[in-house]
Structure 1
Amino acid sequence: MSKLLDVNLSCEISERIHSKATKCFDNAYQAALLSEEYTYVQGFLVLGKGACTIVEYSWLELEDKIIDPTLPHLNFDTQELYYFPAQSLSVKQLKAVIEESQEDYPEDDPLPIYGAAPYEYYGDLMLGGVDYLRAYQAAEAKCQELAGTDPHSLN
């Protein structure tokens, strides 16, 4: 069962934290601080149909819901958004990682979080481990499905 996007809660939280259009990681972090019940998630978002776009992204989850505090800034129909999680952190874990990152590397932005080193590179995209690779491949497969392309015919 895939989780459903809660549009109303996403918009409500976006307004509460004054989310910014190009700051999905910061938006999700600020929103996560509102409740210990949330799970902070990083992965990929597929935008659109046909010629879609894959972006590294962050959102929250609560039980069977996706809460996207950046949603009001996306210019896509919610039926054209597909979320592919790579990594999930409880609010407690998230706070601990951010605190440690700020102590160890105060000049660097602590988000996004990639887990333990060493990281694996894939393509020319970004850092991440095997979970990131799998999430990215799932997002690519979704784009191919939306475009009507058989992913096995590309080899």
Structure 2
Amino acid sequence: MAKTLDAAKSRELAQAAKCRSKAPFDNAYGAIMLVPDAVYVQGFLAFPGEPFRAIEHVWLEVEETILDPNLPYINKKAEDLHYFPAQTLTLKQLKAAIEEAQEDYPEDDPLPIYGASPYAYYGDQMLGGKAYQEAFEAAKAKARELNPVKRKSQ
């Protein structure tokens, strides 16, 4: 069963967490503090329209429900969004990963979390393991389906 985006709760959560544009990973981290039974999910998002490709994204899930604290900044209809998870972390796992990243690389932003190395690039998208590659490929295929190339008529 596919998980369902709750657009109304997503917008409420974005407001409660004081989310801001162009800070998706920070927004999801702030939001999970308000919904501690949720899991933090990193993956990809596909939808019709620009940028006409899969984009790296982050959201929360509670059972079969998607809560996307970044929804107010996507400017797409909720029913047009397709989520492809690559990695999930509980709040406890997320905090531990952030703490480790801050200790190991104090000059870098600790988010996003890509799991254990070895990492690999998939296109120009990001670093991550096999689960990232599978989610990226699925999202890329969906983005192509939603955004067919228009051929010039002769």
Task: Measure the CA separation in 1 of the matches of 2:137 and 2:5.
Answer: 21
Q: Is residue 43–residue 132 contact of structure 1 (8 Å, CA) maintained in 2?
A: yes
How far residue 105 of structure 1 moved from its aligned partner, in angstroms, is 1.5
Of the structure 1 ranges 1-10 and 51-60, higher mean CA displacement relative to structure 2 is found in: 51-60
Unaligned runs of 5+ in 2: 150-154
Q: Is residue 44–residue 55 contact of structure 2 (8 Å, CA) maintained in 1?
A: yes
Q: Is residue 47–residue 146 contact of structure 2 (8 Å, CA) maintained in 1?
A: no
Give TM-score scaled by structure 1 length. Answer: 0.89
Q: Is residue 46–residue 83 contact of structure 1 (8 Å, CA) maintained in 2?
A: yes
Residue in structure 1 matched with residue 47 of structure 2 by the alignment: 47
Task: Measure the CA separation in 2 of the matches of 1:29 and 1:77.
Answer: 23
Residue in structure 1 matched with residue 12 of structure 2 by the alignment: 12
* 1:130 equivalent in alignment to 2:130: yes
Secondary structure of residue in 2 paired with 1:53: coil
Secondary structure of residue in 2 paired with 1:137: helix
How far residue 83 of structure 1 moved from its aligned partner, in angstroms, is 0.6
* 1:26 equivalent in alignment to 2:26: yes
Task: Measure the CA separation in 2 of the matches of 1:133 and 1:121.
Answer: 9
Of the structure 1 ranges 137-146 and 44-53, higher mean CA displacement relative to structure 2 is found in: 44-53
Question: How big is each residue's C-alpha offset from its partner over 1:123-142, in whole Å with a ceiling of 9 and x where there is no partner?
Answer: 23221111011001101111
Question: How big is each residue's C-alpha offset from its partner over 1:74-105, in whole Å with a ceiling of 9 and x where there is no partner?
Answer: 11111211110000001110011111111221
Number of equivalences: 149
* 1:72 equivalent in alignment to 2:91: no
Give TM-score scaled by structure 2 length. Answer: 0.90
Unaligned runs of 5+ in 1: 150-155
Q: Is residue 41–residue 86 contact of structure 1 (8 Å, CA) maintained in 2?
A: yes
Of the structure 1 ranges 51-60 and 30-39, higher mean CA displacement relative to structure 2 is found in: 51-60
